[in-house]
Amino acid sequence: MIHPVVVSTAAGDRGLAGLPAPLPLDELVPAAGATTGAGAAEAGEWEVEIGFGKGRYLRRRCQEEPGRRFLGIEVAGEYHGLFVSRVRRLGLGNWLALRGEALYLLSAVLPAGFAAALHVYFPDPWPKSRHHKRRLFDPETVDLVLRLLRRGGRLSFATDFLDYGERVVEILAGYPGLRCERRERPWDEGPRTNYEAKYETEGRPILRLEGELEMDGGEAPLHPQGARAVLAAVGADERDEED
């Protein structure tokens, strides 16, 4: 069952009705003043986490960087509600949480080139071949993910599903304008998600990647493999029409 999108901010919850596409992020969450001190973020920059789960990392980042803005996407209503209730109780206002299908939100709702950082941790690998089209990182969908980033925007990724992780390495290595490398050690501050904390305790291998987009997301092209698939699909449609 597909649930309607919920747009949550410190001010309340609403649906997409009455909101333009792409979402006017700066109106929904106005930029606060710049933070001060070591490691201060530039005022108003956005970070995005796709599939934030119980919100451990996203909530912590909201607290650490009050001058930065954070957008989270989560399809599970229970987890979305848990994060929203917690950040509201903390009195935080520098966030926006969307409940909905990530690929739909990336393709039809969110603007391109607005994020300084993008986080994807332990996404569903959809291991069956017939489900690969649902993956965030697939040749036919990776452009939707990377288009969120501005020029110089950073990507952080982690998975314990190593076969999928190696496929993501291959896909990102072939993506024009993206510099990406493996991170051979845990994150400096420790586990970022509940899954990661659990898996590290169990000694389970984790594949981590870090990347930087060298173009604006609004210019992000189709992955070469994805472009071939699109052309093949268009050709098939044209043949069907002729028949």
| Distance in angstroms (rounded) separating the CA atoms of residues 38 and 173 | 33
CA distances from 195 to 108, 113, 155, 181, 198 (A): 29, 29, 19, 22, 5
Q: Catalytic one among 124, 160, 237, 240?
A: 124
For residues 226 and 143, is the Cβ–Cβ distance under 8 A? yes
| Distance in angstroms (rounded) separating the CA atoms of residues 238 and 22 | 31
Q: Is 200 exposed, middle or buried (0-12, 13-18, 19+ CB in 10 A)?
A: middle
| Distance in angstroms (rounded) separating the CA atoms of residues 186 and 181 | 14
Closest CA to 137 of 153, 152, 159, 114: 159
Closest CA to 120 of 45, 182, 208, 25: 208
| Distance in angstroms (rounded) separating the CA atoms of residues 206 and 165 | 9
Task: Output the DSSP codes for 9-60.
Answer: ETTEEE-STT--SS--HHHHS---PPP-STTPPPTT-EEEEES-TT-HHHHH
Active site residue 216: no
Phi-psi region of 190 (alpha: psi -120 to 50; beta: other; left: phi over 0): left
Catalytic residues: 124
